[in-house]
Amino acid sequence: MTETRSLPRIAGGVAIGFGVLTVISGGSTLLGALDMGSFVPFVLWFNTAAGLVYVVAGIGLWLGLRWAFPLSLAIFAATLLVFAGFGVHVARGGAYEARTVFAMALRVGVWGSIALISRFGSGNS
């Protein structure tokens, strides 16, 4: 397997794992099994739903399908928008957990990287 082909597969595996963990964590919080403190509802709902899309994107990357790049880019862009909305929420004095800042920054970094890998690492550029 060439390096060009292995990077998207690795990114796909990361996306799938990240998605499964996101759905478990978000779903547990939404169902009341985990107390996450002062979570921001629209961020929690977005992240939980996005976790399912992460898995789909990961499968696309793993299989080398062309639609994996636009989906990864859309996830990245949507995450940036939600992060900006979260920033507005915080700036207006809304309650939040500091770990949400880290978690959203991590999501932006991960999906920015995955989008780049899916664009340039798949040979579809």
Q: Label residues 9-34 b or e (16+ Cβ within 10 Å = b).
A: bebbebbbebbeebbebbeebeeeee
Where do we find the tokens 């990114």? 11
Average pLDDT along the chain: 91
The pLDDT of residue 91: 97
Q: Say what the pLDDT of residue 3 is.
A: 56
Each residue's pLDDT tens digit, 67-115: 999 999 999 999 999 999 999 999 999 999 999 999 999 999 999 999 9
- What does the pLDDT read at residue 61? 95
d(CA 62, CA 65): 8
95 sits in the region (left: phi over 0; alpha: psi -120 to 50; else beta) called beta
Average pLDDT over residues 61-72: 95
Share of the chain above pLDDT 70, in %: 93
Q: Which pTM does this prediction carry?
A: 0.88
